[in-house]
């Protein structure tokens, strides 16, 4: 099993503005300008938190957004408004430990899901796109415990206005 974080941040390291909005991202470029489709084809499972789900649930044709993956949302809710997304009310670390070894897992969105996985050395790859935007404050990508984590830079790509950094765990 390989666990991936794939997402976009601002130049000052934020996933979202202080109100959890992604308007800055939608105004910067399109998904077609990135390597998203190739990346997604290699994924088996997506994992996201409720705030990330809330951001995408109103997208037109959401059913076509993640059609070939098993999609888990970590939430206290017993059901979700969109078919194809499975609510999970458990520890994300324990959940990921139970995933079959031949699966690729994509951590979508926020630091509440990413941080515990980083704390437990469970993130194998990070693909971080950087948008040419400064927010000044917002929701940071990284909020794990203060422990040194090292990754190796494998590749740098440019997609329109986005820089993409591809890292693997050392």
Q: What is the CATH number of the domain that holds 24?
A: 3.40.430.10
Instruction: Indicate the number of domains in the chain.
Output: 1
Q: Has residue 44 been placed in a domain?
A: yes
Asked if residue 107 lies in contact with residue 114, where contact means CB atoms within 8 angstroms, the answer is yes
Digitized pLDDT (tens) for each residue of the chain, 170 residues in all: 999 999 999 999 999 999 888 889 888 877 667 888 899 999 999 999 999 999 888 777 887 889 999 999 999 999 998 989 999 999 999 999 999 999 999 999 788 999 999 999 999 999 999 999 999 999 999 988 888 899 999 999 999 889 999 999 99
Pull the structure tokens for residue 138. 């917002």
Q: Which domain holds residue 58?
A: 2-159
CA distance 116 to 149: 13
Q: Has residue 167 been placed in a domain?
A: no
Q: Has residue 92 been placed in a domain?
A: yes
Q: Has residue 164 been placed in a domain?
A: no
Q: Has residue 96 been placed in a domain?
A: yes
Pull the structure tokens for residue 27. 């105004």
DSSP-assigned letters across all residues of 124-151: -EEEEEEES---SSSEES----S----E
Q: Has residue 15 been placed in a domain?
A: yes
């Amino acid at each position: 099993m390989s666990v991936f974080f794939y997402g976009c941040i601002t130049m000052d390291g934020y996933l979202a503005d202080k109100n959890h909005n992604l308007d800055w991202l939608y105004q910067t470029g399109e998904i077609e300008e990135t390597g998203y489709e190739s990346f997604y084809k290699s994924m088996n499972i997506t994992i996201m938190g409720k705030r990330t789900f809330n951001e995408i649930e109103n997208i037109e044709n959401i059913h076509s957004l993640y059609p070939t993956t098993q999609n888990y949302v970590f939430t206290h809710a017993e059901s979700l408004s969109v078919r194809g997304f499975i609510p999970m009310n458990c520890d994300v670390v324990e959940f990921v430990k139970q995933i079959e070894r031949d699966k690729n897992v994509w951590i979508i969105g926020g630091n509440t899901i990413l941080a515990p996985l980083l704390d437990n050395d469970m993130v194998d790859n990070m693909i971080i796109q950087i948008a040419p935007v400064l927010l000044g404050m917002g929701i940071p990508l990284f909020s794990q415990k203060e422990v040194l984590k090292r990754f190796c830079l494998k590749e740098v790509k440019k997609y329109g206005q986005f820089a993409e950094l591809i890292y693997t765990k050392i």
